[in-house]
Amino acid sequence: MIGTELGDWRRTIYSNQLDPSMDGKEVVVMGWISSVRDHGNLVFVLLNDKEGQMQITAKAGVCPDEIKESLVKLKEQSTIAVKGVVKPSAKAPRGVEISPSELRVFSIVEKIAPFQWQTKTVPNIDTRLELRAIDLRRNILQHIFKMRSLVLKSIRDYLYEKEFLEVNTPKMIATATEGGAALFPIFYYNKEAFLAQSPQLYKEQLTLSFEKIFEIAPIFRAEASRTNRHLSEAISIDLEEAFSDYNDVMSHVENIIKKSIKTVKDYCESTKTTDYIIPEIPEKIPQYTYTELVDRMQKAGATTKWGDDLYPSQLKKINLSGFYFIKDWPLAPKPFYVKAKGDDQKISESFDLMFGDLELSSGSTRIEKRMELEERMKNKGFKLDAFDYHLRVFDYGVPPHAGCGIGLERLMMALTGTENVRDATFYPRDVDRLTP
């Protein structure tokens, strides 16, 4: 009888730890089947675990018949455990094959997935997303999400080193942060509420209590855009720092980008992966002023006027590539909390971090004085009453502060050359997709 339950079996070794010097050693390996080849007296099964691939070789006369017969019948993606003995084998992965003596089959697969785990590109992304958990077994995605986890770790390590405090701010809020557009409404018991499109006002308040804070958490935007770079739910890396301005924040962002590229480079080197287009670590990320770029764009034939947003289609005309900052944006279209640059009420202390024509991060110096903030809000037509919970904090000594948000999924696109933001997201959400 082939067992079907885990019981007291535990994996003793991962595929990447196997090597020919273990000749004769008994091991227990577990994973999912990536191929079965039946040569009659010899059956080769390739088994994948989270660290790689290994070969199970069932040889008639050596391997119990019952096991050999079970293995032959198993379809790709079935999940099993094998107890067996390590033997050197020049042709097998890592020069090792496992000769099975016991088998447990946890999960028998009957169906064939509409895409294969080795495939790099599948024509229709929806086919994949409908079976996302299985799609995520594909090598090309496995690496992206392993790098994503490492990049998150390296960013947190940077922020801890710089003595930022990790915080969590509420995602269910009473008032829109930056106006009423693009919000998901919720029923909060008997009240109307919204999902937070950014932790903006909370993180500003927390500079008063903790000076330097960061949050890595979901943000929610009801933007009906159907593009390769917009999500309805995304992970935002938010930081905010007291007693600093947008230049200090750009310097943090630059350090974070450099560390993240290094993390991805190191991963690809150590796993010998060459499937990704990784940017070079820049010595210094160039900074262009908005005004300077509009000038250049106009000379290149763009229709952009001073004051307009810089759309990818127009930005493309001046062919900026890699990472760069666009700073000193016009003040008027900026949110109410963004500070003017010195006495010039036309320009703001703000920046976007770009990668080619993709916006990765947006930041600014914020207003710390209540009067100034109220003035800006009134000019923008906000009702001050709705923001009383925020404004009252400014009566108690809010420090000068600055901060930014970095889009994690877009950052991963830039770091790996991934073209669709959905492939840097475990279960993407957009205007057409709420499942799985």
Q: Which residues contribute to the annotated binding site for Mg(2+)?
A: 359, 362
Interstrand relation of 401-407 and 358-366 (parallel, antiparallel or unpaired): antiparallel
Q: Extract the runs of DSSP E, i.e. beta strands, from 201-343.
A: 212-220, 233-242, 287-289, 323-327, 340-341
Q: Does 346 participate in binding a copy of itself (rule CB under 8 A)?
A: no
CA distances from 117 to 67, 128, 156, 320 (A): 25, 11, 32, 36
Instruction: Give the three-state DSSP class for 152.
Output: helix
Q: Between residue 21 and residue 50, which ones bind a copy of itself under the rule CB under 8 A? A: 30, 32-33, 49-50
Q: Which residue number, 311 or 389, has a Cβ lying nearer to a copy of itself?
A: 389
Among 369, 378, 380, 383, binds a copy of itself (CB under 8 A): 369
Q: Between residue 325 and residue 344, which ones bind a copy of itself under the rule CB under 8 A? A: none
Q: Between residue 121 and residue 150, which ones bind a copy of itself under the rule CB under 8 A? A: 130-134, 136-137, 142, 145-146, 148-149
Shortest Cβ distance from residue 294 to a copy of itself (Å)? Answer: 27
- Contact segment (CB under 8 A) with a copy of itself among 52-60, 65-73, 89-97, 191-199 equals 191-199
Q: Which residue number, 89 or 287, has a Cβ lying nearer to a copy of itself?
A: 287
Shortest Cβ distance from residue 76 to a copy of itself (Å)? Answer: 9
Residues in the chain: 436
**In the Cβ-directed half-sphere of 172, how many Cα atoms lie within 13 Å?**
7
CA distances from 321 to 261, 278, 325, 414 (A): 16, 13, 11, 11
Shortest Cβ distance from residue 177 to a copy of itself (Å)? Answer: 13
Q: Does 222 participate in binding a copy of itself (rule CB under 8 A)?
A: yes
- In angstroms, the CA 43 to CA 74 distance is 11
Among 55, 70, 205, 260, binds a copy of itself (CB under 8 A): 205
Q: Is the dihedral of CA 100, 104, 105, 107 positive or negative?
A: negative
Shortest Cβ distance from residue 186 to a copy of itself (Å)? Answer: 5
For residues 112 and 133, the answer to whether their CB atoms sit within 8 Å is no
Q: Does 171 participate in binding a copy of itself (rule CB under 8 A)?
A: yes
Q: Between residue 245 and residue 304, which ones bind a copy of itself under the rule CB under 8 A? A: 245, 248
* Tokens found for residue 301: 């034939």
